[in-house]
């Protein structure tokens, strides 16, 4: 499974799996990782970037807890609404009063249905968060397209 | 760090106060644009909240090669055909509607309000700043709702007709509502004729709404709520009279509208210009015959004069609307020009809708060619900007381009119309999706027919596929133009466009395209020739695919005709390499011809004869045999000659020798000839005598292998 939840509220970054004994022979190399999962957190800003972009997390930023909670809501909402279709982390970018939500989506449903979900998610989140929300999606054929490496 | 937070809050509050003060001050300052003495700063220019955004937007034009921004920027989600464009946009809107429905139904859950700037929350919920109406749930009214006059005001201000009627009844109809609200409700009902309009927030639904031509029939609801409210009003104000008369006239209840107007005049109630405008636009319903109608119209205008009411631009539009609705003819045309001149003398500019009616009146489909458009365009081009003032304004551009295309057939005028539409902010006058597509249909047609090829190609590259996807009739026009220009590469691309636009099932277009490809094949470069061959091969494959898909359906699919198949064979056989995959396509097409899957017979059998010769020449005797057998079976005269020649090529003997050879009995030939050659010999006899070679001969397999 590519998708799993870290049960915390902080913007998620995946930790590369650390195995106690690093013997090549024991590795089956059958666990797929995305690029984001394959890079441990110290590579943020070097090989990969943040999953939440906002100014709340800067020094003296305002409404930190609200932003974190809203981001968690957006992530859960997206994963539930686009059920089984999201193949990447959900990136949330905030600019002024505008929230842009980016994700990679599997082409498992017809474009018409995708457009329905698009309109639905944008409008419902806009009403919930009281600001314009834009979805920025990219589509891929299957989960396999986002696999960066196997461990 | 934590200790600074309260101070920050204070700061924020201070900033808030400062902001409020500065905006107050701003209102006090004199407003204007220029500095008074050249030294002191210029006076404040008041701007609307979106002015800067509009100024920024004006710096970038529209990119015609990109899909419209309402579609998602992803190859999977970009629509390519008209059907998909419509389906995708409406799906997204359906999603938005679903979300607002959930919000309204579950209003008790949508109570959180974001707060910004971050100050202390005073009330648990409603201290959002600014408060945004668009994000608040809409109230739902039913029989149990407890309503006040505020609800009625809210529904009226938001043009929620059905809700307004419901609230009005819940409030106790005419007894429970004050006169002012009654008046507003009457205005609302009269404007919309008690029918719920499509909400202003549903842009796509309005854009794609089926173009139903407004019926010119009395649709006014007689004895409806509007009539009742008017009856209950006492005293009846002039405003009420004006509203009701305008409503009736708008929905073609002409006689009653005029009767009410008469009643108002008798009672000494002053009427407005708007009332007379609406009366003028339906004056034709009272009288029959052009002369009487013109008299009635003149009478109304005279009456306006008596009442001391000055006309405006809408009066001119209303007059012309009536005149254009009465048909055509010399009398009406002169009358319309008189009216136009009269208003020009009053310094009233005709609006776009006025010009639309003029075009309707002068440029009839069957009739004299009258070039009135040139002067109209000159007038419009000299105006700074075109402001829409009437719903019919959006009809002007499609009518104007239609006149250029069908009536005047003038490319220069069409280009002028297009330039006018593209000027400034004028594109908003294009109307809706339906009108836009008609507009481009006319533009592309007239360009294809009358413009030089470079201009046409440029226009097509710009419009297709993102702005406009051609309809079948326009596609035929485009193919014709490309054929005349001999643009082989573009023609080959047309096939892939047909597939993408969902037009590839239209056999008529495909056959026309094949014909065009054959016509201009011979003088193309080798690279383009290969492209054309691939396109032809793909057409055959596509036809089979469709057939396989439709096998279980009852409705038969249209098939490529025999002529079209012969064209495919002609194109694909133009390869000199024996192992080229094109030969497979040729064999496939021949097989379909023989198994009678095609309609009719080819109108150029000599193509098949030459292909047979060529196939024999490069060592594909099976294909040669099939082609000749098919020719013989169809009974073409060319068959005998072609058989002899092909055999000559195959056996490498002169024609006379072959002819003597063919006289020999079948048994002798069977021993000496290659099976394919034998089949050709049989075809020769079939063509010559109309029967098989010998009674003893067994049916040989015509599709024998082409191994040597």
Q: What is the pLDDT of residue B43?
A: 83
B119 touches chain A (CB under 8 A): no
Which residues, listed in sequence order, are joined to residue B372 by a DSSP beta bridge?
none
| Least CB–CB distance from B74: residue in A62, A129, A137 | A137
Shortest Cα–Cα distance, A103 to chain B (Å): 12
Q: What is the DSSP letter of B561?
A: B
Residues 6+ apart with CB under 8 A from B34: B42, B43
Question: Comparing C-alpha atoms, which of A2, A5, A146, A139 is closest to residue A76?
Answer: A5
Residues 6+ apart with CB under 8 A from B647: B653, B658, B661, B662, B677, B680, B681, B684
Beta carbons within 10 angstroms of residue B315's beta carbon = 25
Confidence of residue B90 (pLDDT cuts 50, 70, 90): very high
Taking residues B100-111, report their average pLDDT: 88
Q: What is the pLDDT of residue B415?
A: 92
CA distance A25 to B629: 69
Cα-atom radius of gyration of chain B, to the nearest Å?
37
B386 by Cβ neighbours in 10 Å (0-12 / 13-18 / 19+) ranks as buried
What percentage of chain B has pLDDT greater than the value 90?
A: 14
Taking residues A65-89, report their average pLDDT: 93
Beta carbons within 10 angstroms of residue B563's beta carbon = 20
CA distance B517 to B479: 9
Shortest Cα–Cα distance, A92 to chain B (Å): 18
Asked whether the beta carbons of residue B88 and residue A111 sit closer than 8 angstroms, the reply is yes
| Least CB–CB distance from B99: residue in A124, A135, A138 | A124
Asked whether the beta carbons of residue B88 and residue A115 sit closer than 8 angstroms, the reply is yes
Q: A with B: how many residue pairs have Cβ under 8 Å apart?
A: 87
Confidence of residue B549 (pLDDT cuts 50, 70, 90): confident
SS3 of residue A48 by DSSP = strand
| Least CB–CB distance from A139: residue in B74, B89, B118 | B74
pLDDT, tens digit, for every residue of B178-187?
Answer: 778 888 888 8
Taking residues A28-41, report their average pLDDT: 90
B597 touches chain A (CB under 8 A): no
In chain A the domains, ranked by start, together with CATH numbers, are 52-150 (3.30.70.1350)
Shortest Cα–Cα distance, A115 to chain B (Å): 5
| Least CB–CB distance from A127: residue in B88, B89, B99 | B99
Neighboring chain A residues of B103 at a CB cutoff of 8 Å: 124, 127
Tell me if the bond preceding B123 is cis, omega within 30° of 0. Answer: no
Residue B25 has pLDDT above 80, yes or no: no
Residue B470 has pLDDT above 60, yes or no: yes
B317 by Cβ neighbours in 10 Å (0-12 / 13-18 / 19+) ranks as buried
Confidence of residue B702 (pLDDT cuts 50, 70, 90): very low
Taking residues B579-604, report their average pLDDT: 80
| Residues of chain A contacting B, Cβ within 8 Å | 60, 62-63, 66, 97, 107, 111-124, 126-131, 135, 137-139
Taking residues B348-361, report their average pLDDT: 90
If one compares B43 and A85, the residue with the highest pLDDT of the two is: A85
Shortest Cα–Cα distance, B90 to chain A (Å): 8
- Say yes or no: ipTM exceeds 0.85: no
Asked whether the beta carbons of residue A130 and residue B113 sit closer than 8 angstroms, the reply is yes
> Mind spelling out the 3-state secondary structure of B25-42?
HHHHCCECCCCCCCCCCC
The DSSP string of B365-386 is SSS-----HHHHHHHHHHSS--
CA distance B513 to B492: 9
CA diameter of chain A: 54
Residue A146 has pLDDT above 80, yes or no: yes
| Least CB–CB distance from A116: residue in B4, B95, B102 | B95
Q: What is the pLDDT of residue A89?
A: 93
Neighboring chain A residues of B135 at a CB cutoff of 8 Å: 126-127, 130
Interface test with A, best of B12, B93, B95 (most A CBs within 10 A): B95
Taking residues B407-411, report their average pLDDT: 88
Taking residues B532-557, report their average pLDDT: 81
Confidence of residue B9 (pLDDT cuts 50, 70, 90): very low
B194: region left, alpha or beta (phi > 0 left; psi from -120 to 50 alpha): left
Contact at 8 Å (CB) between B115 and B121? yes
Q: What order of strands is seen across the sheet that includes strand A91-95?
A: A52-53, A91-95, A98-106, A133-140
Confidence of residue B121 (pLDDT cuts 50, 70, 90): low
B465-483 b/e with 16+ CB inside 10 Å = b?
Answer: bbbbbbbeebbbbbbebbb
Residue B484 has pLDDT above 80, yes or no: yes
| Least CB–CB distance from B91: residue in A116, A121, A127 | A116
Taking residues B340-346, report their average pLDDT: 90
CA angle centred on A132, ends A130 and A135, rounded to 5°: 125
CA distance B154 to B385: 35
CA distance B472 to B508: 9
The DSSP string of B403-456 is IIIIII--HHHHHHHHHHHHSTTGGGGG-SHHHHHHHHHHHHHHHHHHS-HHHH
Confidence of residue A90 (pLDDT cuts 50, 70, 90): very high
Give the number of C-alpha atoms closer than 13 A to the C-alpha of residue B625, restricted to the C-beta side: 23
- The number of residues in chain B equals 708
| Least CB–CB distance from A119: residue in B8, B93, B113 | B93
Q: If you search the block for the tokens 């870290």, which residue do you land on?
A: A6
B85 touches chain A (CB under 8 A): no
Contact at 8 Å (CB) between A77 and A101? no
B597-623 b/e with 16+ CB inside 10 Å = b?
Answer: ebeebbeebebbbbbbbbbbebebbbb
pLDDT, tens digit, for every residue of A93-125?
Answer: 999 889 999 999 999 999 999 999 999 999 999
Nearest CA in chain B to A134: B72
Confidence of residue A16 (pLDDT cuts 50, 70, 90): very low
Residue B526 backbone dihedrals phi, psi, to 5 degrees = -60, -40
Shortest Cα–Cα distance, B8 to chain A (Å): 10
SS3 of residue B558 by DSSP = coil
Give the number of C-alpha atoms closer than 13 A to the C-alpha of residue B42, restricted to the C-beta side: 6
Question: Comparing C-alpha atoms, which of B632, B545, B622 is closest to residue B591?
Answer: B622
Residues 6+ apart with CB under 8 A from B456: B447, B448, B481
Q: What is the pLDDT of residue B122?
A: 57
Q: If you search the block for the tokens 């609006």, which residue do you land on?
A: B351
Residue B149 has pLDDT above 90, yes or no: no
CA distance B511 to B475: 12
Taking residues B690-705, report their average pLDDT: 48
Highest mean pLDDT, choosing among A65-74, B290-299, B574-583: A65-74
A49: region left, alpha or beta (phi > 0 left; psi from -120 to 50 alpha): beta
Residue A93 backbone dihedrals phi, psi, to 5 degrees = -115, 125
Q: If you search the block for the tokens 């097409």, which residue do you land on?
A: B589
A91-95 and A52-53 strand pairing: parallel
Residues 6+ apart with CB under 8 A from B367: B328
Shortest Cα–Cα distance, A18 to chain B (Å): 36
Taking residues B204-230, report their average pLDDT: 76
Residue B190 backbone dihedrals phi, psi, to 5 degrees = -70, -35
Residue B119 has pLDDT above 70, yes or no: no
If one compares B224 and B13, the residue with the highest pLDDT of the two is: B224
The alpha helices in chain A, defined as continuous H runs, are 35-38, 64-81, 111-129
Contact at 8 Å (CB) between B336 and B372? no
pLDDT, tens digit, for every residue of B616-675?
Answer: 888 888 888 888 888 888 878 778 888 888 888 887 878 777 778 777 777 777 777 777
Q: What is the pLDDT of residue B695?
A: 43
Asked whether the beta carbons of residue A137 and residue B72 sit closer than 8 angstroms, the reply is yes
Residue B249 has pLDDT above 90, yes or no: no
A32-34 and A147-150 strand pairing: antiparallel
Question: Comparing C-alpha atoms, which of B378, B374, B452 is closest to residue B413?
Answer: B374
Asked whether the beta carbons of residue B95 and residue A118 sit closer than 8 angstroms, the reply is yes
Residue B701 has pLDDT above 70, yes or no: no
Q: What is the DSSP letter of B199?
A: P
| Least CB–CB distance from B95: residue in A119, A128, A137 | A119
pLDDT, tens digit, for every residue of B598-608?
Answer: 777 777 788 88
Contact at 8 Å (CB) between B639 and B624? no
Asked whether the beta carbons of residue B4 and residue A60 sit closer than 8 angstroms, the reply is yes
Residue A42 has pLDDT above 90, yes or no: yes
Contact at 8 Å (CB) between A40 and A151? no
Cα–Cα separations (whole angstroms), residue B171 to A75, B142, B176, B190: 46, 12, 5, 20
Confidence of residue B120 (pLDDT cuts 50, 70, 90): low
CA distance B430 to B440: 10
Give the number of C-alpha atoms closer than 13 A to the C-alpha of residue B77, restricted to the C-beta side: 30
CA distance B152 to B170: 10
Q: For B198-242, where are the E strands, in sequence order?
A: none
Contact at 8 Å (CB) between A119 and B89? no
């Amino acid at each position: 499974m590519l998708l799993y939840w870290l049960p915390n509220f902080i913007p998620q970054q995946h930790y590369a799996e650390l195995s106690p004994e690093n013997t090549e022979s024991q590795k089956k190399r059958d666990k797929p990782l995305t690029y984001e999962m394959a890079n441990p957190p110290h590579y943020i800003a070097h090989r990969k970037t943040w999953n939440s972009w906002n100014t709340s997390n800067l020094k003296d930023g305002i409404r930190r807890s609200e932003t974190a909670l809203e981001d968690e809501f957006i992530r859960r909402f997206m994963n539930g609404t686009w059920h089984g279709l999201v193949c990447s982390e959900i990136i949330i970018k905030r600019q002024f009063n505008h929230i842009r939500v980016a994700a990679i989506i599997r082409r498992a449903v017809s474009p018409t249905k995708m457009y329905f979900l698009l309109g639905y998610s944008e409008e419902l989140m806009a009403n919930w968060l009281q600001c314009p929300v834009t979805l920025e999606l990219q589509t891929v054929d299957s989960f396999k397209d986002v696999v960066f490496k196997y461990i | 760090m934590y200790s600074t937070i309260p101070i920050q809050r204070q700061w924020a509050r201070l900033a808030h106060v400062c902001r409020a003060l500065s905006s107050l001050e701003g209102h006090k300052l004199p407003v204007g644009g220029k500095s008074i003495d050249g030294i002191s700063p210029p006076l404040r220019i008041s701007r609307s909240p979106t002015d800067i955004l509009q100024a920024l937007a004006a710096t970038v034009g529209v990119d015609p090669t990109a899909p419209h921004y309402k579609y998602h920027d992803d190859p999977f989600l970009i629509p390519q055909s008209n059907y998909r464009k419509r389906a995708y946009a409406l799906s997204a809107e359906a999603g938005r509607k679903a979300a607002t429905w959930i919000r309204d139904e579950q209003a008790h859950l949508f109570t959180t309000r974001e707060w910004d700037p971050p100050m202390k929350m005073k009330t648990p919920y409603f201290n959002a700043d600014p408060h945004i109406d668009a994000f608040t749930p809409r109230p739902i009214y039913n029989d149990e709702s407890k309503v006040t006059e505020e609800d009625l005001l809210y529904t009226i201000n938001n043009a929620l007709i059905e809700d307004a009627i419901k609230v009005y009844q819940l409030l106790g109809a005419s007894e429970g509502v004050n006169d002012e609200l009654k008046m507003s409700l009457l205005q609302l009902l009269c404007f919309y004729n008690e029918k719920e309009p499509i909400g202003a927030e549903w842009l796509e639904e309005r854009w794609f709404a089926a173009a139903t031509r407004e019926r010119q029939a009395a649709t006014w609801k007689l004895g409806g709520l509007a009539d009742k409210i008017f009856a209950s009003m006492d005293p009846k104000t002039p405003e009420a009279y004006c509203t009701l008369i305008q409503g009736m006239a708008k929905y073609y209840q002409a006689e009653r509208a005029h009767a009410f107007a008469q009643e108002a005049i008798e009672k000494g109630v002053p009427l407005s210009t708007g009332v007379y405008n609406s009366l003028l636009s339906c004056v034709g319903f009272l009288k029959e015959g052009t002369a009487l109608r013109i008299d009635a119209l003149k009478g109304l205008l005279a009456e306006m004069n008596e009442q001391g009411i000055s006309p405006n631009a809408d009066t001119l539009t209303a007059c012309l609307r009536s005149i254009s609705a009465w048909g055509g003819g010399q009398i009406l045309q002169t009358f319309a020009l008189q009216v136009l001149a009269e208003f020009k003398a009053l310094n009233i500019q005709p609006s776009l809708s006025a010009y639309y009616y003029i075009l309707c009146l002068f440029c009839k489909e069957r009739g004299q060619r009258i070039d009135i458009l040139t002067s109209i365009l000159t007038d419009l081009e000299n105006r700074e900007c075109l402001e829409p003032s009437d719903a019919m304004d959006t009809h002007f551009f499609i009518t104007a381009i239609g006149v250029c295309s069908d009536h005047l057939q003038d490319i220069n005028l069409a280009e002028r119309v297009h330039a006018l539409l593209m000027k400034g902010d004028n594109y908003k006058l294009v109307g809706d999706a339906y009108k836009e597509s008609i507009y481009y249909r006319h533009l592309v047609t007239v360009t294809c027919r009358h413009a030089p090829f470079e201009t046409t190609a440029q226009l097509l590259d710009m419009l297709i596929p993102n702005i406009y996807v051609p309809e079948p009739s326009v596609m035929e026009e485009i193919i014709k133009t490309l054929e005349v220009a001999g643009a082989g590469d573009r023609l080959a691309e047309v096939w892939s466009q047909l597939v993408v636009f969902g037009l590839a099932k239209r056999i008529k277009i495909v056959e026309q395209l094949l014909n065009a490809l054959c016509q201009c094949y011979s003088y193309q470069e080798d690279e383009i020739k290969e492209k054309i061959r691939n396109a032809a091969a793909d057409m055959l494959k596509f036809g089979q695919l469709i057939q396989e898909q439709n096998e279980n359906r009852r409705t038969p699919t249209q098939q490529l005709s025999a002529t079209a198949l012969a064209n495919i064979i002609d194109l694909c056989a133009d390869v000199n390499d024996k192992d080229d995959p094109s030969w497979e396509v040729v064999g496939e097409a021949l097989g379909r011809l023989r198994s009678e899957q095609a309609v009719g017979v080819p109108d150029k059998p000599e193509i098949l004869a030459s292909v047979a010769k060529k196939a024999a020449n490069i060592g594909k005797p099976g294909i040669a045999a099939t082609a000749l057998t098919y020719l013989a079976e169809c009974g073409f005269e060319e068959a005998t000659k072609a058989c002899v020649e092909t055999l000559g090529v195959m056996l490498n003997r002169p024609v006379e020798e072959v002819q003597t050879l063919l006289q020999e009995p079948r048994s002798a030939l069977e021993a000496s000839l290659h099976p394919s050659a034998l089949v050709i010999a049989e075809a020769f006899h079939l063509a010559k005598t109309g029967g098989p070679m010998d009674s003893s001969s067994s049916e040989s397999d015509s599709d024998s292998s082409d191994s040597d």
